[in-house]
Structure 1
Amino acid sequence: MNTFEVIEICAGAGGQALGLEKAGFEHALAVELDSNACKTLEENRPSWKIAQGDVADEEVWRPADHQGVSLLAGGVPCPPFSIAGKQLGANDERDLFAWAVEQVAVVQPQALLLENVRGLSMPRFAGYRQHVLDRLAQLGYVADWRLLQASDYGVPQLRPRFILVALKTEDAPYFHWPEPQGAPPTVGDTLVELMAERGWRGAQAWAERANKVAPTIVGGSKKHGGADLGPTRAKRAWAELGVDALGVADESPSSEAPLDFRPKLTCEMVARIQGWSDEYAWHFTGRKTSRYRQIGNAFPPPVAHAVGEAIMRALKREGTPRELNSTEHDPVYKVLRSANDYVSPERLMKDAGIQDAAELERRLSLLSRDFDVDVRIIGNKTGYKLGNFRAFVGQDDHDRHDLFLKHRARIS
């Protein structure tokens, strides 16, 4: 039988890893920066090869040593694209998305899977997304993005993830995004057993009140304080579910807790909401705050399982092939990229199908946050020309190296 191996970068504590394993992939290597997450991976899968350190450092691992692997996968850092952050994109030293895409040229996997936050799907990053699609097409891959809701795959949580899947041209027609699997369990249904394990008599009544899915679990970063369940709006949503979101508990409520007690969640409870369960069994190492961050920053295993199975079917060329349709994310980028010289605003608007000059300026402003856009005025005419992509893709002289070393202790 064929073996389908995966190289996983920015593996975290193993959410994606476990899901891909369930889908039939075998880990040839998992690379992760955080030492506690590496210990969690090692404890759960002692046979796996784990490399700890900066994924872009060839002293940690060499992509060229893994040419032809079935799948290159990863959950690269989210802060460059997060709605809650500054959305610096290509200018954020934590951005490894473009670098990961560039490794396709080196590793030449059969398939690529990268997941990130919903912010990457927004208009702010249309040019970035278009660059990724075009670069993968140059390398002989057909790529597609999709915003998937974790709650569609049995996870009791509102957790949208923006996912990129790319396959070689011959396999791509067999890839179909996984279909939703029905309504997820509620927070109460998911946690009632854990809430009652120390004899709390109010557990069943609490579970009946917690009759919705959870807001998105926020893992946070090392830049901030201890574990809690998110910003103010998330805390309000947790309060409606009968949960005290100001921190994480060491243990479930005791038999002495009042019937109307509003409990905090334990790390084990948070893991259940993130998709770990008896079916997806996993143990987390480290102190409470570290465990919480490992859990909260993970890709829910059931979602990774569903996407992994879809990729596996495509690699085996199972099912009915589909007609491939190209998706355009940024027509302004495409016009500029295909031009050999400066392009006038009039031509840009015509070729990109834009009717409003203000809309053109807005799109150029967004594009210029991730790319150098040169503006030249000749006489009374203005012209635009697309320059370099600012993202780190492996350059030895990129600012990313110094910034990464400066902020390494706070990167998570």
Structure 2
Amino acid sequence: MADLSAVEICAGAGGQSLGLELAGFDHAIAVELDENAVNTLRENRDWDVRQGDVADKSIWKPNEYHGIDLFAGGVPCPPFSIAGKQIGATDERDLFAWAVETAGEMKPRALLLENVRGLSMPRFSAYRQYVKDRLRDFGYWSDWQVLHANDYGVPQLRPRFVLVAMRHEDAQWFEWPQETPTGDTVGTALHEMMAADGWLGADAWVEKANAIAPTIVGGSKKHGGADLGPTRAKAAWRKLGVDALGVADAPPNASHPVTFLPKLTTDMVARLQGWGREPEYEWDFTGRKTTKYRQIGNAFPPPVARAIGTSIANALNRKGKPKELADVENEVMHDRLYLALKNAPIALTEKELVKLSGEKMDSLAFERRMAMLARDFMIDEEDQLGGRAYRLVGFKGFTGQEDHERHARFAEMRARIS
């Protein structure tokens, strides 16, 4: 029986939900925008599942869950995706900073947010610093790690950037989960499914599909039917003996030649995401083939969510050995130039900011860094006798403001957001 409670936002079709449940968390509420994913959640669990924009307080009220054990979510990844434009804070889908502010309102014992690896890149160093500083303001220790699904029993690369935050008294007990690399390949994971309808080429196919899968890409409503990713990913799939130009309705059968290049079914894709490998990972997906594929492909693999959820649960239940408080409070600085801007009481020149930051950079590097900062932050510039001076005015992102332009863009794009 679960002895801890969780609120989950942007729950999707339940990858993180199932993993957290297996780690010992019972869902007080799950909130998701996409109707198909909501239907899947309701099909599998008798939870309080709400459909709609998580930032809309008519859908749910965060203050009603004050002090919950865990506030978790897989907030939208397009604002940070390497495959996208990396708009960040000005993307109407960005909910990362909003989730942090909401955690400050709810005061959960722990916060778990996962996103794409792009958020770990230098482009978003100031954004990460902003998040870490806000969590510190709210009284939380926090840390980020890139976790790879194949290190936690899933036969797929799938790197995810994971943020965990906790109150200091709980953080002393937290340890990132130990890696348990998968022994499966695409072939060994899917052999039985490929052979299910009598295809005589299944054994030979397993020998070719002898590596873990590339990252599965679920896509969005902006795109057409389901396929397994961009051009480079399709080439990687072909080397594994998989036709990535779509998703099949059924596995190959006895009428297909031994040399046939099969497509994956949605059940196969789910298996490569960690569903169905054991009875406790069984999950039913609702909707037509393309909507099922998107739900599966956009999910956080349940075994990875279970691993990080177990680490959080162990900390909250005081299992293991606590660290020294000084080790817990060790601070990582993600962007020293941003910190120099943030901490400056007045507008400072390039020379002053570079000196205050302690970084070494020439004027060209400084201009590039300032241009990058200006994508997520409001920066005033003024001419002084010593040269142009800069002052940080604010954060451009949505943190819950009722008059933020995000609402208008979100309403305009609502039918295409998934």
Superposition TM-score tier, normalisation by shorter sequence: over 0.9
* 1:160-192 Cα deviation digits (max 9, x unpaired): 000000001111121111111024410000000
Q: How far 1:53 moved relative to its partner?
A: 0.6
| Number of the residue aligned with 1:33 | 33
Whether 1:263 and 2:262 are equivalent positions in the alignment is: yes
**Equivalent residues of 2:336, 2:359 under 8 A apart:** no
* 1:107-155 Cα deviation digits (max 9, x unpaired): 1100000000011000000110000000000000001111111110011
CA distance in 1, matches of 2:51, 2:183: 35
Match of 1:401 among 407, 413, 418: 407
CA distance in 1, matches of 2:360, 2:38: 52
| Number of the residue aligned with 1:281 | 282
- Displacement over 3 Å in runs of 4+: none
| Number of the residue aligned with 1:142 | 141
* 1:12-40 Cα deviation digits (max 9, x unpaired): 00000000000000000000001110110
* 1:36-57 Cα deviation digits (max 9, x unpaired): 1011000100x21100011110
Q: Residues 175-254 of structure 1: matches in 2 within 5 Å?
A: 175-254=174-253
CA distance in 1, matches of 2:70, 2:365: 39
Q: How far 1:219 moved relative to its partner?
A: 0.2
Whether 1:339 and 2:338 are equivalent positions in the alignment is: no
**Equivalent residues of 1:153, 1:184 under 8 A apart:** no
Tell me the SS of whatever aligns to 2:172: helix
| Number of the residue aligned with 1:320 | 321
CA distance in 1, matches of 2:52, 2:385: 53
Deviates more, 1:168-177 or 1:108-117: 168-177
Quote the sequence identity (%).
60
Q: Residues 5-404 of structure 1: matches in 2 within 5 Å?
A: 5-45=5-45, 47-277=46-276, 278=278, 279-322=280-323, 323-324=327-328, 325-357=330-362, 358-404=364-410
Q: How far 1:2 moved relative to its partner?
A: 8.3
CA distance in 1, matches of 2:381, 2:318: 47
- How many pairs are equivalent? 411
Q: How far 1:360 moved relative to its partner?
A: 2.3
TM-score by length of 1: 0.98
CA distance in 1, matches of 2:358, 2:207: 52
Name structure 2 gaps, 5 residues minimum.
none
CA distance in 2, matches of 1:395, 1:356: 36
Tell me the SS of whatever aligns to 1:167: strand
**Equivalent residues of 2:275, 2:302 under 8 A apart:** yes
**Equivalent residues of 1:90, 1:390 under 8 A apart:** yes
Aligned residue type for 2:285: F
CA distance in 2, matches of 1:184, 1:304: 19
CA distance in 2, matches of 1:256, 1:228: 24
Name structure 1 gaps, 5 residues minimum.
none
Tell me the SS of whatever aligns to 2:281: coil
Q: How far 1:321 moved relative to its partner?
A: 2.0
CA distance in 2, matches of 1:261, 1:285: 29
Aligned residue type for 2:347: Y
**Equivalent residues of 1:354, 1:360 under 8 A apart:** no
Tell me the SS of whatever aligns to 1:174: coil
CA distance in 2, matches of 1:310, 1:364: 38
Aligned residue type for 2:4: F
Q: How far 1:380 moved relative to its partner?
A: 4.0
**Equivalent residues of 1:184, 1:213 under 8 A apart:** no
**Equivalent residues of 1:152, 1:184 under 8 A apart:** no
TM-score by length of 2: 0.97
CA distance in 1, matches of 2:218, 2:111: 25
**Equivalent residues of 2:341, 2:392 under 8 A apart:** yes
Residues 300 and 330 from structure 1, CA distance in 2 versus in 1: closer, same or farther, beyond 3 angstroms? same
Tell me the SS of whatever aligns to 1:164: strand
